[in-house]
Structure 1
């Protein structure tokens, strides 16, 4: 099983007990088509730092990162589109309400998966930063370029959280250079991660391992 499938399946399994059925199906449909770049990066990071790591011990962290990102991404879309204002039928209104519930469930379940890990504090900060950014974005008269930049912060924060989750899974904290690399990866995407199958560059694992080795060498001098 490749990392894309691992991350997606772990995210879906974490939501298997969600009720009612329609809500679970709404979330499942969203995850089935989602880019799983944040979740995959968590797995790639852990394996790059410790080739012997058992990925079964990391998948819950990967799922947590992915769920938080998906929930916030859905929240971002809903806040921009305001679907209730354009709802043509009562059914459309219900769909919008269901999306709000789905966003809440995604974020809360993601928190649950990360709450007892070394990535818990970073997960909290991602949500706080998202709230601050969206509040600033909604200000009247904000420059469109500034609004776009604030939106893109979510992708940056999601990849930073991913490397934190992957690094702490093997008993360490990410060096500053690794967080910077996560930001570089996010900058390569235009506000959205690539579709399934093209989650990360092929050189990602080698870059992470190299960054880690250099950070360790620097501390040993």
Structure 2
């Protein structure tokens, strides 16, 4: 995550806009807790106060939602393309998608085969712990035998767990079951196992 991550910039700009027309360099944020039933010697309510820069508040919000900024984390090809689109960088947008497609199609284990296992790791975000999904590649009956994904297992917890998993099963690219996870989750989150051997370990360091 870069310090100039557009999400961090959006949060900071939202805080700056609370005072229309203000110069960001001269803004500060004050958060006050007023304790009920207490008073200072002069009769004013007893308070606890925090004062800081809007950028500090933005970083706290960002960290709660996405993790600490300043840590360089890989992005999925789709996220890279969306960042380029926001910058109106058509070359960058197309380049992110084309290079990802070329990387997949040139992998020595491509294309997928029936029985391949595809594990997807999701980092912790906000109140949600990290979790994983495991899919198997197999023929899909409604697709006349073309390959798709079936969710085997997940480690997501919480009341919405079942609604929040399985988005790649069976997938939306008939005959190309790896395209969805590769572009949307990103190759860095994928582990692909064939015949009991890992053939792609995107999260390996």
* TM-score (normalised: structure 1): 0.24
Which has a greater percent of helix? 1
Q: What TM-score do the two structures reach when normalised by structure 2?
A: 0.25
